[in-house]
Structures are given as C-alpha cells and as structure tokens.
Amino acid sequence: MSGHAHAAHDESWIKKYFWSTDHKVIGLQYLFTGMAMAVIAGFAVYVFRMQLAFPGHEVPLFGRVSAAEYNALVTMHGSIMVFWVAMPVLIAAFGNFLIPLMIGCDDMVFPKINRLSYQIFLISALIAVSSFFVPGGAFGGAWTSYPPLSTSPVYNQTPYGATMWLIAVVLEFAAFLLGGINFVTTTMNSRAPGMKMFDVPIVVWMIVLASVLFMASVGPLVAGAIMLLFDQTLHTGFFDPARGGDPILWQHLFWFFGHPEVYVVLLPAMGIVAEILAVFARKKLFGYRTIIYTTVATGIISFFVWAHHQFIAGIDPRIASLFSVTTLIISVPIAEMVFVYIATLYGGSIRFRTPMLWALAFIAEFLIGGVTGIFLGAAGADVYFHDTYFVVAHFHYTFFPIAFIGGFAAITYWFPKMFGRMMNDTLGKIHFWGTIVGFNMVFLPLFLTGAAGDHRRIYSYQAFPDLNTPALQHLRITATIGLLIMLAFQTVFLYNFFRSLFAGQKAADNPWHANTLEWLAPSPPPHGNFAVLPTVYRGPYEYGVPDRHDDYWPQHVPDQPSTDGGVAPSRAAEAHA
Amino acid sequence: MSTSTAHAAHHDGYYVRIWATLCVLLAISILGPMVGIRIVTLITAFGIAIVKAYLVTKHFMHLNIEKRWVTWILVAMVAFMVVMFGGVAPDVMKHAGHHWQKDYVEPAVVHEEHSE
Amino acid sequence: MTHGHDAAVSTVPVATTRSVMEVPTGRLAVWWVLASEIVIFGGLLGVYIMQRIGHPGWANQSIHTNTLAGSINTFILLSSSLSAVLAHQAAERGDGPRAARLLRLTALGGASFLVVKSIEWTHEIREGFTITSNLFWSFYYTAAGLHALHVIAGMIIMLIVAAGAARNQHLHRVENIGIYWHFVDIVWIFLFPLLYIAK
C-alpha cells in the first residue's frame, strides 16, 4: 500500500500507542481517557448522592463526607463530566476516528498538531485529577467558578485546587481549539472526489459545526479565565468590587461560552443519533438539509440566550425578559429536529439492535430535558426554580442523553469498525435497560424535590433548619438507589466492552450494511485507512431505494449503467474532472 | 504546491507605499490628541485604527482576493464579539439600580518614585 | 495512492494535499486560527472597553502610559508587517533565501518590540504602576502581555519557517506565518489607541 504500513511493523509499542499521529489511535486515546474520567466522576456522584440519601453516615469506600469534600465532589463531578467526558468522547474521540474515514481520506490534515492536542488534553486531565490530592483538596466552588468564592482562598479554602482547576480548564480549551482546527480544515478541504458539501454525513457536519461554535464562543472565557487566574495568584481585582471590578462580569463571560457549550456537546450527539436512525430504520434521513440549516440557526441563536443562567443574579429585569424570549425561541429549532428524526423512523423497517435502542432513548429522554428547560427559560418561573434540583434534573435529562446515551450509541455502533469485533448484543440490551431504568429513577424524583424547593449544592439539609424537609427524604433516597442501580449496570457495559475487545466475534467490514465511507475500510482500518482512496457517487442516506436488490447503496459504489431505473446522474465524470 | 498565483500580483514598491500610508496615519493619530477636542481625538485614534486595520487586512493579508467566505467567517467572529459587548456592557456598566449602587471610588494616583 | 519517495513528502498524508475549497489547507487553517484569536482578543478588549467607559477615573492612571514607547512599537510592528509581506512576495517568486532574510528581519522587529516593551514596563513598575496597583494597570499588563505572548509565539514559528525557506522548502508557509503576523500587528493597532491615545 505505501511506506506507512511497513513503518508500522517496526514501530515500538510506545511509538505506536503513545506517540502516534494516526487519527484513529488519537481518537481511541481520547475515548479511553474520557471513559476513565467518567469512572472518576461517577465515583464522585456515588459518594455525594450517598451523603444526600443518608446524611452524616459513612459512605462505603469513602468515609464520612465533610461539607468541603461534598462541595469538591459536586464541583469536580460536573467539571469532569462536561470537559473531560462529554467533549472528549463525543467530539474528540469520534471526530478524530470518523472524520477522515467518513470523508474518504487517509488522516487528518495536521497529524502532528492532532497528537499535540491530545497531549495537551491529557495534561489537563491529569492536572484536574491530581487536584484531589493537593493540600486543601480539589476546588469546591462549583463548575461555574463564580468569584469571589473562586478568587479568594479565605472563602473557598482550596487555593491550590482552585488554581489547578482553572489551569486544567484552560488547557482543555487549548486542546479543543487545536483539535477543532483539524476537524474543520480536514472536512472542508480533504473530502473524497465527488463528495460535495451535502454528501457529507450528518455526524461530520455536526462535529464541524460544534467545533466552530466552540471556537466562536470560548474566546471571552479564555480572557476571563486569565483574569480569574490573575485574581487568584497575583491578587488583581478584575472581579473584586472593592477594587473596581465586577463579579457579574465573570458570570457573563462564563455563560456567554457556557450556553453555546451545551450545543457544542449536543450537536455531535444528535449527529450520532441521526446516523444510527437511518441505518437501523433502513430509511433515508428525513430532511438532511433542514437539519443542517436548523443546526446553523440554533448555533447562532445560542449566542443570544446566555443570561438565562443569570436571571436571579441581579441583572436588569428588562434584559431578563429579552433573554426569556430568545430562550423560548431556541426550543423551536431543536423541537423541529426531534420531529425530523421521528419522521425518519416513520415507515422505516426498524431493527432493534443495541445502537438503535440508544438512539431511540436519546429522543425520548432528551425530549423531557428540552421540555423542562421551558420552565426554566421563563424568567418569572426561574425565580423559583433557580438553584433547585429542578435545574439539576433538567440538565441531566439533557446532558445524560448527550454524553452517555449518545456515547453508548456511538460506541456500540462503531465498535466493530474501531476494534474489528462485535460487541455482544444481549449484554448490550441488558446494559441499556438497566441504565435507562436507573437513570430515570435518579432524576424523576429530583424534579419533584426541586419543585418542592430542595436547594442545590447543600451538603446536608439537616445543617440548615430552613431547608430541612424530612418528608422529601424518601425521594432523595429513591434517587440514590436509582443511581446505585445505574452504576451497577455499567459493569455489564465494561465487561462487554473489554471482553469483546479481545474475544468478541470478528466483525466484517460492514456488519450494519451502512452507506457511509468508514464501512468500506477494513475493520479495524490500517494506517492510511483505504487500500484505494474512494470516490463518492451519491449522498450518505440512500437506504431503501426502489428497484435495487439491496436496501442500501454505499456512497463509494459507482452507478450501474443499466440495471437501475431512475437513478441520479452518475458522478463518475464529475469526480474525475 | 501553492495555488495562490493571484497573490503575487504586486511588486515590492506597492507594499512600501502602503507602509508609508500607514506611517502617516500613525503620525496623525499621535498628533490628534494635541488638538484638544475629545471627538477629534476619538476619530483620529479609533477611526484611524480601523482604517489601518483595513489596509493591513486588504493589502498585506490579501483578504480581498481570498475566497469571499473567509471574510464572512472573520466578520462573523467580530459580530459575535459585538453581541457579547451588547449583552454584557449594559449590565457591567450600570453603577446603580433599585436598592443598590456601586460604592467603589477611584483612588487618587499615588505613585512612589523609586529611582532618581 | 502512493506517498512520494522524497523523504520530506512521504510523511504527509494525502489529506493534506487536497484542497476541495480551493484554499490551500495551511492557509485555511491559519484563517481559522485567526478566527479563534479574534474572539479571544475581542473578548478581552471588549471587557476592557466597557470597564474603561465605566470608570472615567481611570484617566488619572492612563495618563501615565508612555505614548512615545507605544508609538515606537506601533511603528516597529507596522514595519515588520511590511517585511513579512515582502517575504511573501519573495516566496511567491521562488526566492527562498530572500524570503528567509525578510522573515528574520520581521522576527528582529518582533524582538525590538519586546525590548522596547521591557524597558517601558520596567520603568512603569519602578514608578509604582504594577499589575495590582489599579484595575486599569491590570488590564494594561494583561492585554499587552497576552499580545506579547503572541508576538513571541509568532517569532518562534517564523524562525522555523525561515529555516526551511532558506533551503527553498515549504515556501507556502511564508505566506501563512505572514498572515498570522499581520493579525498580531492588527491587534496592536487597536491596543495602541486603547492604552496610549485615549487618555
């Protein structure tokens, strides 16, 4: 094939797995790092939910939970899940692995910068984790890190943890900026001959748009993070009112990024779900262009809604009204996309394999998350709901589908391509049901406790007489039991994943009979991906095309001159132009 | 390997002329405050900055012969910053409201002369 | 699909050689880098502007910035942008060694900028205008400091590109680092009036 393959044989293990510039290896590095960080953040939630259900009792495998430890666990759970699980798994792992394969080229355009981006990311993850072990422990000022709590060690009691958290986050931003440039440039410029813009698979579009959205929104927060870092370490007064600064400024800078950020993680998940829906309904994706235009519109609108996180921070109520309106508006395109996905299913021939179960669950669970966001987007209602568990339940009904349902969907779907083996479908279904039942058991009660007034970020209601509502304790316990069930079933996934890695049934190149180009490459693909780089002749969703023998029509297969009636004009001539 | 054949359109003297223009503009922007009228200072300082940035962008970065959509991407980023400013400034620049005010008073400048 | 036998080319994936959008990949990437930098500097400067307008009292502080140093530095960066674009022209004509010389001259301009800034800051710090003495100075040092970091990064990359250009290799990179350098110049074009003129 090329000099590459020969060189691979001679590479040491270190060079092959730690120093590789191959996008597939880098993608898997991100995946495994993200999975490891999920275990850490999952342990954190186990501990603090046990504390909430049985306050003051020793938590097995941890001990008694102090107020400071509780705050650190809550902060790091949120931070790790958003920055070191959702983003690396959905964007960096699958973006890296899939993009060159799906657009029919042999690697990213800047392989060395790609490797650098992972290395920076890894360092950021290590800093975040080691912050648990420094004097004072990990930062406990919430993932939103508002000053003056985050600037003053007198308040936060975690001077080292606070600064390490901030540095870890900034490095993670740098890693994703670098990675994003690779994704965007590669997709724009390195597509296979014949692959026009609207022949690119939706998941690639979504990852690219997410990268652009990230790039466009993170700048002010990078500036703000530098300012916060200086406040913490040099004692400047950027956010100190006594020195002329403004703590609300931080809130604005954080949320100006923070809101587009949720779409940064949502978009790849929706892309993953779209791919799976088309393949397992054997049906053309409904409204491909509509999805893209809607996504772009959503991305733009997402820059106009951020202050709905600050409704009770003292912002001008007239501005609050404006942001209420924009927030309610943004629910429309997302709802429309859900309808488009349902329309894709309608009339399809549905196969209920594990990836499809996850994709369907995404739609149902995210719907709950989206609908409950409407309550919070209305400023008047938010005055009550803000900082209650209603918010927690809402954003877990969005974030969990995004990160975990989307993540499991992607892993179970692309596992054969990544590792050359099939995962066990029965175990996959057991894992699926245990997770979904457990997940809903955690968060449905929290809507109720939140609506009843339960405050967030309180380590023990018993410590605050005004907040102590023993009547709700059974709901809190139910939520914790749901969590224990959900965590227990993750062992099924881990067993399935690692066993299949080594002993799973060997996978064919295209076990799901899908159209997109990654299924042309061997499972797993070698360096260089394709023996012969493909040419593209049609869009990615030609499933169930009439008068064809197969119910799928891969993108790289040339048109048959006479056997198919009424087909689209051949692109062979175009491709070679 | 470069496909930027259109970019080599100018000889060196052309760029030296642009540079000279930029230097003249710089001089004007320095002299502007000496007129003493605030609005003049603002125009010479920031108006000229915009002009200089435009000249560098057009003539040195060759953005005018680049693909159109590149310009749109960059303009979009600037537009997002305008949105950021528009949404944040009314809040941060407010110094009093119902039941509250910003108490901070700018201290008089006291700087120690360490040298001499 | 083969990789060339030339050692310098064989490690580049085919992906890097395609350009479906009809913009060379390296240059396209630099435009995206600029896009992300616009948002970073735009964020910082936007915040500075709103704070500056909201604190008229900062005029007492800003009067102490050294307009002469700022003007000299503006002139230096403008001139270094000239040498950068002339380097690009030389690269377009295939004259690698001349491009390298001009790039090194540009880097020298960057170095001079940093020297002037060091002298300026040393003087200001000695006078008591430190990063913590007033919020104006916090912004002053942060904004100019972030800019200076970008100058340093640009210089390093520029010298690497120049080393290759001197051997007539990767001449397309001369234009790309030039575009980045012009952006660094433009940021300073706005920093100059913000920190030195609007007193």
DSSP per position, A99-141:
HHHHTT-SS-S-HHHHHHHHHHHHHHHHHHHHGGGSTT-S--S
In this structure, are residues B104 and A244 in contact, taking their beta carbons and an 8 Å threshold?
yes
Residues in B closer than 8 angstroms to C85, CB to CB, are 15, 59-60
Residue of chain C with shortest Cα separation from A108: C15
The dihedrals phi and psi of B97, each to the nearest 5 degrees, come to -150, -160
In this structure, are residues A203 and A272 in contact, taking their beta carbons and an 8 Å threshold?
yes
In this structure, are residues C68 and B114 in contact, taking their beta carbons and an 8 Å threshold?
no
The distance of C167 to chain A (nearest Cα, Å) reads: 22
Between the CA of residue B111 and those of A351, C69, C143, what are the distances in Å?
A: 76, 20, 22
Q: Do A252 and B87 touch (CB under 8 A)?
A: yes
The distance of C31 to chain B (nearest Cα, Å) reads: 7
B86 touches chain A (CB under 8 A): no
Residues in B closer than 8 angstroms to A306, CB to CB, are 87
Q: Which chains touch C (3 or more CB pairs under 8 A)?
A: A, B
Q: Do A220 and B84 touch (CB under 8 A)?
A: yes
Q: Which tops the pLDDT comparison, C198 or A507?
A: A507
The distance of A188 to chain C (nearest Cα, Å) reads: 6
Residues forming beta bridges with residue A63, ordered by sequence position: A59
Closest CA to A415 of A329, A354, A484, A346: A354
Q: Do A218 and C39 touch (CB under 8 A)?
A: yes
Q: State percent of chain A over pLDDT 70.
A: 95
Distance (Å, whole) CA A184 – CA C32: 8
Residues forming beta bridges with residue A388, ordered by sequence position: A455
Q: Do A220 and C46 touch (CB under 8 A)?
A: yes
Distance (Å, whole) CA A190 – CA C15: 5
> For chain A, give me the number of helices (H) and strands (E)?
19, 0
Residue of chain B with shortest Cα separation from A215: B77
Q: Do B16 and C175 touch (CB under 8 A)?
A: no
In this structure, are residues C34 and A185 in contact, taking their beta carbons and an 8 Å threshold?
no
Residues ≥6 apart with Cβ < 8 Å to A172: A83, A84, A87, A121, A124, A125
Tally A–B CB contacts below 8 A.
Answer: 44
The series of mean pLDDT values per 10 residues for chain C, 199 residues long, is: 41 87 94 97 97 91 94 97 96 95 97 98 96 95 98 97 96 96 97 91
Closest CA to A150 of A90, A238, A279: A238
User: pLDDT by residue (tens digit) across A257-268?
Assistant: 999 999 999 999
Region B110-115: mean pLDDT is 46
Tokens linked to B104 = 């901070």
Q: What is the DSSP string of C8-23?
A: HHHTS-HHHH--TTSS
Residues in A closer than 8 angstroms to B90, CB to CB, are 316, 319
Distance (Å, whole) CA A162 – CA A184: 33
Judged against a pLDDT cut of 50, whether residue A204 lies above it is answered with yes
Q: Which chains touch B (3 or more CB pairs under 8 A)?
A: A, C
Between the CA of residue C196 and those of A223, A555, C127, C191, what are the distances in Å?
A: 21, 59, 17, 8
Distance (Å, whole) CA C121 – CA A97: 47
Q: CA A60: distance to chain centroid?
A: 30
Q: Do A238 and C29 touch (CB under 8 A)?
A: no
Mutate to test the interface with A, among B66, B104, B106, B109 (most CBs of A within 10 A): B104
The count of other CB atoms within 10 Å of the CB of residue B9 is 11
C128 touches chain A (CB under 8 A): no
Tokens linked to C17 = 């050689």
The count of other CB atoms within 10 Å of the CB of residue C103 is 33
User: pLDDT by residue (tens digit) across A353-368?
Assistant: 999 999 999 999 999 9
The distance of B113 to chain C (nearest Cα, Å) reads: 5
A455: DSSP letter: B
Tally B–C CB contacts below 8 A.
Answer: 162
Q: Which residue has the tokens 């003053």?
A: A152
| Helices marked H in chain C | 7-10, 14-17, 25-54, 59-62, 67-92, 96-126, 135-166, 172-192
Q: State percent of chain A over pLDDT 90.
A: 89
Q: Do B88 and A244 touch (CB under 8 A)?
A: no
In this structure, are residues C58 and B106 in contact, taking their beta carbons and an 8 Å threshold?
yes
A 185-244 → B contacts, CB under 8 A? 216-217, 219-220, 241-244
pLDDT band at A5 (very low <50, low <70, confident <90, very high): very low
Residue of chain A with shortest Cα separation from B79: A216
Q: Using H for helix, E for strand and C for coil, what is the string for B23-79?
A: HHHHHHHHHHHHHCCHHHHHHHHHHHHHHHHHHHHHHHCCHHHCCHHHHHHHHHHHH
Burial class (CB in 10 A: 0-12, 13-18, 19+), B108: exposed
Distance (Å, whole) CA A268 – CA A97: 13
Closest CA to A84 of A194, A196, A168: A168
Distance (Å, whole) CA A249 – CA A226: 13
Average of per-residue pLDDT values in chain A: 93
Query: Which pLDDT score is estimated for A575?
Result: 46
Closest CA to C141 of A242, A166, C181, C149: C149
The distance of C161 to chain A (nearest Cα, Å) reads: 16
Cα within 13 Å of Cα(B4), Cβ side: 30
The distance of C176 to chain B (nearest Cα, Å) reads: 9
Q: Do A100 and C15 touch (CB under 8 A)?
A: yes
Cα within 13 Å of Cα(C98), Cβ side: 12
Residues in B closer than 8 angstroms to A242, CB to CB, are 104
Termini Cα distance of chain A: 25
Query: Which pLDDT score is estimated for A449?
Result: 96
Q: Do A236 and C35 touch (CB under 8 A)?
A: no
Closest CA to A403 of A45, A17, A101, A72: A45
Distance (Å, whole) CA A300 – CA A297: 5
Residue of chain C with shortest Cα separation from A534: C1
Query: Which pLDDT score is estimated for A560?
Result: 74
Judged against a pLDDT cut of 70, whether residue B49 lies above it is answered with yes
Residues in B closer than 8 angstroms to C86, CB to CB, are 12, 15
The distance of B116 to chain A (nearest Cα, Å) reads: 28
pLDDT band at B96 (very low <50, low <70, confident <90, very high): confident
Query: Which pLDDT score is estimated for C21?
Result: 92
Query: Which pLDDT score is estimated for B7?
Result: 53
CA torsion sign for A41, A42, A45, A50 is negative
Residue of chain C with shortest Cα separation from A183: C29
Residues in A closer than 8 angstroms to C187, CB to CB, are none
Q: Which of C58, C78, C133 sits opposite B26 (nearest CB)?
A: C78
User: pLDDT by residue (tens digit) across A149-189?
Assistant: 999 999 999 999 999 999 999 999 999 999 999 999 999 99
Distance (Å, whole) CA A192 – CA A175: 27
A 276-335 → B contacts, CB under 8 A? 303-304, 306-307, 314-316, 319
User: pLDDT by residue (tens digit) across A471-491?
Assistant: 999 999 999 999 999 999 999
Distance (Å, whole) CA A359 – CA A430: 16
Tally A–C CB contacts below 8 A.
Answer: 136
Tokens linked to B83 = 């949105």
Q: Do B83 and A303 touch (CB under 8 A)?
A: yes
State the pTM of this model.
0.93
Residues in C closer than 8 angstroms to A220, CB to CB, are 39-40, 42-44, 46-47
B100: DSSP letter: E
pLDDT band at A11 (very low <50, low <70, confident <90, very high): low
User: pLDDT by residue (tens digit) across A90-103?
Assistant: 999 999 999 999 99
Distance (Å, whole) CA C108 – CA C83: 10
pLDDT band at B11 (very low <50, low <70, confident <90, very high): confident
In this structure, are residues C103 and C157 in contact, taking their beta carbons and an 8 Å threshold?
no
Tokens linked to A155 = 């308040």
Q: What is the DSSP string of A492-554?
A: HHHHHHHHHHHHSPBP-S-TT---SGGGTS-SS--TTS-SS-----S-TT-BS-TT-SSSB--
Q: Which tops the pLDDT comparison, A148 or A569?
A: A148
Region A530-546: mean pLDDT is 94
In this structure, are residues A540 and A201 in contact, taking their beta carbons and an 8 Å threshold?
yes
The count of other CB atoms within 10 Å of the CB of residue C66 is 17
Distance (Å, whole) CA A274 – CA A359: 8
Residues in B closer than 8 angstroms to C47, CB to CB, are 88
Termini Cα distance of chain B: 59
Q: Is A18 helix (H, G, I), strand (E, B) or coil?
A: coil
User: pLDDT by residue (tens digit) across A104-139?
Assistant: 999 999 999 999 999 999 999 999 999 999 999 999
Tokens linked to A32 = 């495994």
Q: Do B91 and A315 touch (CB under 8 A)?
A: yes
Q: Which of A216, A242, A319 sits opposite B80 (nearest CB)?
A: A216
Region A393-401: mean pLDDT is 98
Q: Which of A223, A235, A246 sits opposite C40 (nearest CB)?
A: A223
The distance of A251 to chain B (nearest Cα, Å) reads: 10
In this structure, are residues A84 and A128 in contact, taking their beta carbons and an 8 Å threshold?
yes
Closest CA to A396 of A54, A92, A77, A128: A77
Element (H, E) at B101: strand B100-101
The distance of B99 to chain C (nearest Cα, Å) reads: 20
The distance of A554 to chain B (nearest Cα, Å) reads: 31
Residue of chain C with shortest Cα separation from B5: C92
Cis omega (within 30 of 0) for bond into A153: no
Residues in B closer than 8 angstroms to A314, CB to CB, are 97, 100
Q: Do A189 and C44 touch (CB under 8 A)?
A: no
